[in-house]
């Protein structure tokens, strides 16, 4: 059995890549959902590959990963929008950064870029700060929903004979006859021939269970605003010129038509600190308004949130073999999402086959294409009407903000959704302007009816995140 520890976008894609060769692949996820850690709380950007330090593993895998996303989109039925990106210079000092980015792009082998002057830039992005002088434009940059990629890749593993096990927190490892016995917090144990540690923020701690050391991970928090779909702010991803620490506070069009502003980049002590702060959100406002002055933070805000990234002093990915048949995939910070498909191939084709000398042969019965819960609102109206005739649930709207029907929610539950967040990330129900104020009671009821869970047993996400505490009756 091959064990993959962690179901984020990197772990799930690695498991999928191994599964193309070996059926017996298990994903062990410590949390109650797929892709709900680092994967959930980021900008969702597929970077162009021009920015990373030449010669680093990040630079090697970012550009390759970008190129693989068209294939990922087709095979996993996930949305990838090549909206392009601009790195914008607003003064003479920042113009130097544009020249530096061009030099990095050349060294990294990236050919898909243009240097746009003020007129060209403002024609493409009329809402930009009119002080903009020039931009580094990369047309192959894009956006996706990283949790959707993780969920679909995990689904692919299950369809192709593997297993995805949630609430499996690894607490102990014992070597046994060139294999590993893995012990989990729930009392279960499994024997693995090969282990891939892709535990995100906790990859350094998991490495120690195997007797290995990887670069120390410290969490860096990024705070965001999510703005609604009513106003057009930008056509592409808008970057400021980068600093040594961060790519800065951005303006990002999301896959479903909204906008992200952020993130900040501040080190925090706790790997569970997902709080937003007055200071952090003010920083996001000030820096993003510098790029796009029309952003409306008074009337168009849907929500604020924060995510954590696994940072190391090395500022590079650590992907290597440990002691025995274990591979540590650690320090996967930006551009980890972009590099994820290439990281998966690097692990399988180089580390497993060449470095560990494990011969693999592709399975003839492997299923490449994976369907997903379709959003009926995106279908042709006549097609939707035909679906309603076959299944009346397709005509019952549950989430009015994002136009999600009862049929879609029931399909998500059939595919394994058990929490409100499972349904949210599978269908976008409760992801809209009201953030579930109107649809959550209906979704909770559907989950209860479809699964047999009592309403008070249905969770928002993790253990303890109950919605209904007990039954209520009139006296």
pLDDT(473) > 90 = no
The CATH number of residue 8's host domain is: 3.50.50.60
pLDDT the model gives residue 471: 74
| 121 CB-side CA count, 13 A | 27
Q: What is the pLDDT of residues 324-359, one digit of tens each?
A: 999 999 999 999 999 999 999 999 999 999 999 999
**CA 303, chain centre distance (Å):** 18
Write out the residue range of the structural domain in which residue 260 sits: 85-139+218-310
How remote is the C-alpha of 467 from its chain's centroid? 25
67 occurs within a structural domain: no
What is the average per-residue pLDDT within 310-326? Answer: 96
Q: Is residue 369 part of a domain?
A: no
- Region 431-435: mean pLDDT is 91
Q: Are residues 163 and 128 in the same domain?
A: no
For residue range 293-308, what is the model confidence (pLDDT) as tens digits?
A: 999 999 999 999 999 9
How many whole angstroms separate alpha carbon 100 and alpha carbon 83?
Answer: 23
Same domain, 93 and 156: no
Question: Nearest Cα to 319, choosing from 357, 290, 352?
Answer: 352
Return the pLDDT at 341: 98
Q: Give yes or no: residues 289 and 222 share one domain.
A: yes
pLDDT of residue 397: 96
Place of tokens 């506070």: 249
The verdict on 342 and 387 lying in the same domain is no
Res 244 pLDDT > 80: no
Residue 475 has pLDDT above 60, yes or no: no
Check: CB of residue 452 under 8 Å from CB of residue 429. Answer: no
Task: Give the whole-angstrom CA distance, residue 431 versus residue 402.
Answer: 7
Q: Please, is 75 exposed, middle or buried when counting C-beta atoms within 10 Å of its C-beta (0-12, 13-18, 19+)?
A: middle
> Are the CB atoms for 367 and 159 separated by under 8 Å?
yes
CA–CA separation, 93 vs 96, rounded Å?
Answer: 6
Domain boundary (283, 310, 337) is at: 310
Q: What local confidence, expressed as pLDDT, does residue 178 receive? A: 87
Q: Answer for the pair 113, 137: CB distance below 8 angstroms, yes or no.
A: yes
What's the total number of domains in the chain?
3
| Each residue's pLDDT tens digit, 346-404 | 999 999 999 999 999 999 999 999 999 888 988 898 999 999 999 999 999 999 999 99
Indicate the pairing of strand 163-165 with strand 326-330: unpaired
Pairing relation of β-strands 218-227 and 259-262? antiparallel
Q: What is the pLDDT of residue 469?
A: 87
Asked if residue 240 and residue 135 are part of one domain, the reply reads yes
Q: What is the pLDDT of residues 92-135, one digit of tens each?
A: 999 999 999 999 999 999 999 999 999 999 999 999 999 999 99
CA 152 to chain centre: 12
Does residue 55 fall inside a structural domain?
Answer: no
| Of residues 8, 34, 71, the one with CA closest to residue 370 | 71
Predicted local distance difference test score (pLDDT) of residue 472:
67
Query: Residues 382, 244: one domain?
Result: no
Q: Which of 286, 310, 334 is the last residue of a domain?
A: 310
pLDDT tens readout for residues 58-80: 999 999 999 999 999 999 999 99
Q: What is the mean pLDDT of residues 443-449?
A: 96
Would 341 be classed as within a structural domain?
yes
Whether 182 and 322 map to the same domain: the answer is yes
Mean pLDDT of the region 39-50: 96
pLDDT computed for residue 242 by the predictor:
83
pLDDT at 247 over 80: no
What is the per-residue pLDDT for 373?
85
Could you give the percent of the chain with pLDDT greater than 70? 98
Q: Is residue 400 part of a domain?
A: yes
Same domain, 237 and 305: yes
Does residue 177 sit within a domain?
A: yes
Say what the pLDDT of residue 228 is. Answer: 95
- Those residues with Cβ within 8 angstroms of residue 68's Cβ, 6 or more apart along the chain or in another chain: 341, 342, 345
Provide the β-strand partners of residue 405.
397
To the nearest whole number, what is the mean pLDDT of the chain?
96
CB neighbour list of residue 305: distance below 8 Å, 6 or more residues apart = 41, 223, 224, 226, 274, 276
- Give catalytic residue positions: 47
Tell me the CATH number at 302: 3.30.9.10
Q: Is 9 left (phi over 0), alpha (psi -120 to 50) or beta?
A: alpha
| CATH (domain of 440) | 1.10.10.1100
Residues 347 and 385 reside in one and the same domain: no
Pair (388, 438) in one structural domain: yes
**In this predicted structure, what is the pLDDT of residue 176?**
85
Rounded Cα distance, 228 and 257, in Å:
8
Average pLDDT of span 417-423: 96
In a domain, 122, yes or no: yes
Answer yes or no: do 212 and 231 share one domain.
no
Query: What does the pLDDT read at residue 22?
Result: 98
Whether residues 179 and 105 share a domain: the answer is: no
The pLDDT of residue 238 is above 60 = yes
């Amino acid at each position: 059995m091959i064990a993959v520890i962690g179901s984020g976008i990197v772990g799930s894609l690695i498991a999928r890549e191994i599964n193309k060769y070996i059926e017996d692949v298990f994903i062990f996820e410590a949390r109650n959902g797929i892709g709900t850690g680092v994967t959930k709380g980021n900008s969702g950007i597929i970077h162009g590959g021009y920015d990373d330090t030449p010669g680093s593993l990040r630079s090697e895998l970012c550009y390759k990963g970008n190129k693989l996303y068209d294939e990922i989109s087709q095979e996993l039925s996930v949305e990838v929008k090549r909206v392009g990106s601009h790195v914008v210079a607003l003064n003479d000092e920042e113009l130097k950064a544009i020249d530096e980015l061009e030099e990095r792009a050349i060294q990294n082998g990236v050919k898909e870029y243009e240097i746009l002057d003020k007129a060209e830039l403002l024609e493409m992005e009329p809402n930009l700060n009119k002080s903009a002088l020039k931009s580094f434009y990369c047309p192959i940059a894009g956006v996706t929903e990283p949790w959707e990629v993780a969920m679909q890749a995990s689904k692919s593993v299950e369809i192709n004979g593997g297993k995805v096990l949630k609430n499996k927190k690894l607490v102990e490892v014992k070597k046994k006859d060139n294999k590993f016995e893995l012990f989990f917090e729930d009392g279960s144990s499994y024997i693995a021939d090969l282990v891939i540690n892709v535990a995100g923020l906790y990859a350094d701690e998991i490495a120690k269970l195997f007797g290995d050391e990887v670069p120390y991970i410290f969490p860096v928090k990024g705070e965001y605003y999510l703005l609604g779909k009513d106003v057009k702010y930008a056509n592409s991803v808008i970057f400021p010129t980068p600093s040594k620490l961060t790519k800065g506070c951005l303006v990002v069009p999301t896959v479903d038509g909204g906008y992200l502003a952020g993130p900040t980049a501040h080190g925090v002590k706790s790997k569970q600190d997902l709080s937003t702060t007055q200071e952090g959100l003010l920083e996001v406002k000030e820096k993003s308004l510098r790029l796009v002055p029309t952003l409306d933070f008074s009337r168009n805000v849907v929500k604020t949130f924060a995510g954590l990234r696994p940072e190391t002093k090395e500022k590079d990915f650590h992907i290597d073999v440990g002691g025995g048949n274990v591979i540590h995939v650690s320090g996967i910070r930006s551009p980890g999402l972009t590099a994820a498909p290439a990281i998966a191939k690097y692990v399988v084709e180089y580390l497993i086959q060449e470095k560990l000398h494990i011969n693999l042969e592709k399975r003839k019965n492997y299923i490449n294409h994976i369907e997903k819960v379709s959003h009926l609102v995106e279908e042709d109206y006549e097609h939707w009407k035909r679906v309603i005739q076959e299944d009346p649930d397709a005509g019952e709207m549950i989430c009015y903000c994002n136009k999600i029907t009862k049929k879609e929610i029931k399909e998500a539950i059939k595919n394994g959704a058990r929490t409100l967040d499972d349904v949210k990330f599978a269908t976008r129900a409760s992801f809209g302007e009201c953030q579930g104020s109107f649809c959550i009671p209906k979704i909770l009821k559907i989950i209860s009816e479809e699964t047999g869970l009592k309403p008070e047993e249905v969770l928002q996400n993790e253990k303890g995140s109950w919605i209904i505490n007990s039954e209520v009756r009139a006296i």
